Structure 1
Amino acid sequence: MSRAPVQASRVSDDYRFNEQIGHLLRRAYQRHVAIFQQAIPDSQLTAAQFVTLCAVRDQQGASLNDIAKITAIDQATIRGVVERLQTRGLIVVARDANDGRKVTVTTTEEGNALVERTVPFAHDITEQTFGPLNPAERVAMIYLLRKMIDASDAS
């Protein structure tokens, strides 16, 4: 059964998409990515590639599945990100010595050097993304975002 158009209209009258959390999070993320692309000295490096490179550096010998979990980037996307980083010589992908079905990913010296050169810019990008938020608001923002993430991880 379908609802009468008038009733559906009343329900949607109070819905403002631009006040919804998903829309606001997407806008904040778009702002962050724009800041990243403007501030990062390596114009070929995307935010997703930088996060992946950091994760691989921190988890030397990580599988693609591990990297996808750590970065929260879906499997299909992480494969493309890893391919692009590999093409640039920033990471190495090899078969696991103990399990030939599994691949491991490690950073190269060049990849490690790029992370080291980029981290100071990443700190500045974080500052710019926070923008006018005061220290207490920044702590609250991080706390609330982590709480939202933890709630979805628990379910």
Structure 2
Amino acid sequence: MNYDFSEQVGHLLRKAYQRHMAIFQQNIGNSQLTAVQFITLCAVHNHGPSSLSELIKATAVDQATIRGIVERLQARNLISLAPAEHDKRKVIVSLTQDGEQLVRETQPHALQVSELTMANLNPAERVAMLYLLRKMVDDSSE
């Protein structure tokens, strides 16, 4: 049996992800904003003020990483932190006005990033790709 790593799903997914990240950095319009920071801002924008555990679930980012992201976004005045009303130990993340404005300004660029990432695919292949990726990440045990 000949194992060709370059034809394995993990390798191909990693290469596709690396290509997507390069496209993101070239086209997002804000060189200081990383993809993970952007999805964190989008999660708060879409779901409203959120706890760290809610952000972890929404973004699929681990706890240590989300804490660092939150600290960096707070330092840039894009989010604010406050204790939860009913549990002062829980931190609630909210967008600031600057954060809201950045999300609104960046979303069109993010749509373009997705478009460029799938530029080599025809419309049917795009639908199939998204369907298959969702199916791969679906964990029915959750």
| TM-score class, shorter | over 0.9
- The answer to whether residue 40 in structure 2 is matched with residue 52 in structure 1 is yes
Give, in whole Å, the separation in 2 of the partners of 1:80 and 1:15. Answer: 38
Give, in whole Å, the separation in 1 of the partners of 2:124 and 2:113. Answer: 19
Give, in whole Å, the separation in 2 of the partners of 1:81 and 1:31. Answer: 22
How far off is 1:153 after superposition?
4.8
Matched residue of 2:17: which SS?
Answer: helix
TM-score (structure 1 length as normaliser): 0.88
Matched residue of 1:37: which SS?
Answer: helix
Q: What do residues 18-56 of structure 1 show as CA deviations (whole Å, max 9, x unaligned)?
A: 111111111111100100001111110000000000001
Hey, what does 1:6 align to over in structure 2? none
RMSD over aligned Cα atoms: 1.1
Q: What do residues 48-95 of structure 1 show as CA deviations (whole Å, max 9, x unaligned)?
A: 000000001112221001101100011111111111111000001111
Q: Which runs of 5+ in 1 are unaligned?
A: 1-12
Give, in whole Å, the separation in 1 of the partners of 2:54 and 2:2. Answer: 42
- The answer to whether residue 102 in structure 2 is matched with residue 114 in structure 1 is yes
Hey, what does 1:154 align to over in structure 2? 141
Hey, what does 1:7 align to over in structure 2? none
CA shift in 2, pair 1:153/1:43, >3 Å:
farther
Select the structure with the greater relative contact order (CA < 8 A; seq sep ≥ 6).
2
Percent identity over the alignment is 58
- The answer to whether residue 83 in structure 2 is matched with residue 105 in structure 1 is no
Hey, what does 1:36 align to over in structure 2? 24
AA aligned to 1:86 is Q
Divergent runs of 4+, >2 A: 152-155
Q: Which runs of 5+ in 2 are unaligned?
A: none
Q: What do residues 82-141 of structure 1 show as CA deviations (whole Å, max 9, x unaligned)?
A: 111110000011111110111100101110100110011011100000021000000000
TM-score (structure 2 length as normaliser): 0.96
Hey, what does 1:132 align to over in structure 2? 120
CA shift in 2, pair 1:105/1:153, >3 Å:
farther
Hey, what does 1:74 align to over in structure 2? 62
Give, in whole Å, the separation in 2 of the partners of 1:44 and 1:109. Answer: 18
Hey, what does 1:9 align to over in structure 2? none
